[in-house]
């Protein structure tokens, strides 16, 4: 609705994780490399964690695009409220294998499928998002899947992604066997102030702002976005999107610091040094 007013070709601050808008911080680059090379080098089991809204699902969307280009087949599980058998059925279903009832048959099918792909020199991955919500029983099932290997290589590459609660789960005594199998581990962080500025300007540029990024969001507005979002990308997007709508509503060509403060107050986002900081990202 505001695109015409600001001369933008698309919405710069949509909150859906879209690889087109990737801003490659060193941490995001490292995460993407770990996920991608973890699969390519058949390392077995890779874990990525990060606070709410820091870009984990975006990393997975990016890695899935890369994997699709190199004939790696993957199953993507994002609904983690599944029982162990439903989990296995979902995974085999996503690989296009016929539906069967028993766990034994599911595992036999999966094993045959993985061996056949391995013999053709093709990698296969299981990608699990929202891992912090998985039950211990399903995490144990994932551990058992890491056993699918021939004498030299893991047949199934597993990417497990989740919020920091996942790290705590992996620290528990019950899951120490799973923890020992992690080959690569990385963590996403929120953005620094300079990164937040670059992030906002890059999104505006990719949305067609044509060098008008600094007019749209002057430096003091960016400082205020950072203060209230603490550099969490999803919050940055929410604040900036709403700020653009507010500026459009007032027929302004620039988003002032005052507008950012108003939006942050509407979303109950307190500045960084305020007591009892409340963060709402969803």
Binding-site ranges for Mg ion (CB under 5 A): 56-57
> Closer to ligand ATP at the Cβ: 54 or 124?
54
Q: How far is the CB of 35 from ligand ATP (least distance, A)?
A: 13
The per-residue DSSP string of 236-254 comes to: HHHHHHHHHHHHHHTT-SS
Q: Total number of residues binding ligand ATP (CB under 6 A)? A: 20
Q: Which residue has the tokens 């305020």?
A: 274
Residues 46 and 160: beta-carbon distance below 8 Å: yes
Q: How many residues does the chain have?
A: 282
Q: How far is the CB of 72 from ligand ATP (least distance, A)?
A: 21
3 state SS of 77: strand
Distance CA 127, CA 157 (A): 8
* Residue selected from 2, 30, 41, 57 as contacting ligand ATP according to rule CB under 6 A: 57
> What residue number has its CB nearest to ligand ATP?
55
* Residue selected from 58, 123, 170, 240 as contacting ligand ATP according to rule CB under 6 A: 58
Q: How far is the CB of 123 from ligand ATP (least distance, A)?
A: 24
Residue 159 as a binder of ligand ATP (CB under 6 A): the answer is no
* Residue selected from 233, 239, 240, 259 as contacting ligand ATP according to rule CB under 6 A: 233
Distance CA 48, CA 282 (A): 20
* Residue selected from 12, 38, 44, 55 as contacting ligand ATP according to rule CB under 6 A: 55
- Tell which residue, 237, 262, 259, has the closest CA to residue 248: 259
Beta bridge partners of 128: 77, 160
3 state SS of 20: helix
Distance CA 118, CA 31 (A): 25
Residue 133 as a binder of ligand ATP (CB under 6 A): the answer is no
Instruction: Give first-to-last CA distance, the chain, whole Å.
Output: 22
Q: Cβ atoms within 10 A of the Cβ of 267, count?
A: 18
Residue 38's binding partner, choosing from Mg ion, ligand ATP, none, with beta-carbon cut-off 5 to 8 A by kind? none
| CA distance to 62, 68, 234, 278, per residue, from 265 (Å) | 33, 42, 16, 11
> Closer to Mg ion at the Cβ: 17 or 213?
17
- All residues at 6 or more sequence positions from 246 whose CB lies less than 8 Å from its CB, including other chains: 255, 259, 262, 263
> What residue number has its CB nearest to Mg ion?
57
> Closer to Mg ion at the Cβ: 40 or 57?
57
3 state SS of 84: helix
> Closer to ligand ATP at the Cβ: 23 or 267?
23
> Closer to ligand ATP at the Cβ: 148 or 191?
191
Chain positions 15 to 54 lying near ligand ATP, rule: CB under 6 A, are 15, 17-18, 21-23, 25, 28, 50, 52-54
> Closer to ligand ATP at the Cβ: 21 or 113?
21
Kindly list the residues in this chain that would bind ligand ATP in the complex (CB under 6 A): 15, 17-18, 21-23, 25, 28, 50, 52-58, 163, 233-234, 237
């Amino acid at each position: 609705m505001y695109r015409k007013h600001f001369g933008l070709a698309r919405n710069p601050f949509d909150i859906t994780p879209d690889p087109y808008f990737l801003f490659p911080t060193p941490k995001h680059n490292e995460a993407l490399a770990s996920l991608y090379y973890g699969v390519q080098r058949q390392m077995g089991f890779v874990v990525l964690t990060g606070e709410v809204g820091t870009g984990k699902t975006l990393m997975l969307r990016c890695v899935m695009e890369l994997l699709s280009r190199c004939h790696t087949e993957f199953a993507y599980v994002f609904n983690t409220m599944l029982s162990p058998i439903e989990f296995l059925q979902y995974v085999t279903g996503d690989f296009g294998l016929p539906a069967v009832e028993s766990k034994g048959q599911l595992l036999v099918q999966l094993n045959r499928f993985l061996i056949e792909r391995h013999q053709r020199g093709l990698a296969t991955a299981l990608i699990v998002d929202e891992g912090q919500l998985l039950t211990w029983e399903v995490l144990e099932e994932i551990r058992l899947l890491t056993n699918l290997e021939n004498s030299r290589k893991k047949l199934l590459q597993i990417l497990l992604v989740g919020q920091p609660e996942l790290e705590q789960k992996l620290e528990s005594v019950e899951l120490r066997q799973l923890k020992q199998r992690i080959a690569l581990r990385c963590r996403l962080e929120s953005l620094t102030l300079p990164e937040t500025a670059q992030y906002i300007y890059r999104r505006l540029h990719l949305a067609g702002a044509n060098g008008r990024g600094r007019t749209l969001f002057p430096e003091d507005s960016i400082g205020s976005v950072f203060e209230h979002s603490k550099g969490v990308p999803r919050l940055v997007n929410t604040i900036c999107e709403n700020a653009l709508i507010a500026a459009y509503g007032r027929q302004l060509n620039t988003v002032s610091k005052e507008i950012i403060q108003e939006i942050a107050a509407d979303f109950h986002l307190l500045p960084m040094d305020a007591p009892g900081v409340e963060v709402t990202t969803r």
